[in-house]
Amino acid sequence: MIYLKLIWGYLRIGLFGFGGGYAMLALIERIIVGNGWITETMFTDIVAISQMTPGPIGINSATYIGYVAPGVSSPSFSAPIWGILGSILCTLVVVVPSYILTLYMSHLIQRHRDSTIVKGIFSGLRPVVVGMIASAALLLMNEANFGSQTQEIVASVLICIGAFAGVYWLKIHPILIIILSGIAGFLIY
Amino acid sequence: LNSKKKKKIGIKTIWIPVVVALLIWSKLPYVSNPILYIILGGAGGYYIMERGLRKAIREKTEDERRSEK
């Protein structure tokens, strides 16, 4: 039963995950945390792991959740083999729909580049994708990332504002910002 | 903000990402579902484009009639 739930969950992510990794975050969070497969803190950890490992966040989270969820749902599925099966299923289910859609869409866009339908749909999707990316940022501003004590929250907000200003206004490379934020975090905590 | 620039979002459409982000973040039942906004965004974009096209055709036809008279 857990495998069917995982397939249905990741099929929706694969089909409606427009706008790339960060736009998918809200959808992923809703499905995997909403179903009780993992906690909010674990979700934040997955986002961090997915950023540190190569590959898109959707696929990385599918592999991770597919491995963890069967064991969480029932102790009889705690053996690694069930986790590997879940990983393979989730990864396939999240990749295959978008692969087919992209293949079909590229063909469709080539043929109907000036079509009203295609132009209209994309012009409507653009602001929604920006909103979904913004909602991912809001979702990650949680207790797990910003802490629960006033001192922690203040330090986290200052690092967040500094990172934003560095990337957006000062045009510093994001990798350098990550390193500097890590050093700031080490010095503060 | 970088995504906003890249996606060419103007003054008329800036409210859409703000509302979408806040509603998804609110975690209210039904309205916090991102799938809803993808479907609404696609359908709404198509409807607005179609309406604009119809209006343009109607105006063109009226202009032609006027010039014939």
Distance CA B1, CA A161 (A): 14
Q: Which two tokens stand for residue A140?
A: 């990650």
Give phi and psi for B12, each to the nearest 5. Answer: -75, -25
B12: contact with A, CB 8 A cutoff: no
Distance CA A42, CA A33 (A): 9
Query: What are the pLDDT digits (tens) for A10-67?
Result: 888 888 877 667 778 888 888 888 878 788 778 877 777 776 677 777 888 888 888 8
CB pairs under 8 A between A and B: 107
B31: contact with A, CB 8 A cutoff: no
**Contact check, Cβ <8 Å, A116/B49:** yes
- Considering only the beta carbons, identify the residue of A16, A26, A130 that sits closest to B17: A130
* pLDDT score, position A182: 82
* pLDDT score, position A5: 87
Confidence of residue A87 (pLDDT cuts 50, 70, 90): very high
Q: Distance, in angstroms, between A146 CA and closest chain B CA?
A: 16
Query: What is the value of ipTM here, to two decimals?
Result: 0.78
Query: What are the pLDDT digits (tens) for A112-168?
Result: 767 777 788 888 888 888 888 888 888 888 787 788 888 888 888 888 898 889 888
Confidence of residue A77 (pLDDT cuts 50, 70, 90): confident
More confident residue, A88 or A53: A88
* pLDDT score, position A147: 80
* pLDDT score, position B4: 57
In sequence order, what are the residues at sequence separation of 6 or more whose Cβ sits closer than 8 angstroms to the Cβ of residue A38?
A32, A46, A65, A68, A69, A72
* pLDDT score, position B6: 59
- Considering only the beta carbons, identify the residue of B21, B38, B50 that sits closest to A125: B38
Contact residues, chain B, for A33 at CB < 8 Å? none
Distance CA B46, CA B54 (A): 12
pLDDT, mean over chain A: 83
Q: pTM (2 decimals)?
A: 0.70
Classify each residue of A126-140 as buried b or exposed e, where b means 16 or more C-beta atoms within 10 Å of its C-beta. Answer: bbbbbbbbbbbeebb
* pLDDT score, position A149: 84
Query: What are the pLDDT digits (tens) for B7-64?
Result: 566 777 788 889 988 998 888 888 888 889 989 998 998 898 888 888 888 888 888 8
In sequence order, what are the residues at sequence separation of 6 or more whose Cβ sits closer than 8 angstroms to the Cβ of residue B55?
none
B56: contact with A, CB 8 A cutoff: no
* pLDDT score, position B25: 86
* pLDDT score, position A92: 92
Q: How far apart are the first and last CA of chain A?
A: 44
Counting beta carbons within 10 angstroms of the beta carbon of residue A181, is it exposed (0 to 12), middle (13 to 18) or buried (19 or more)?
Answer: middle
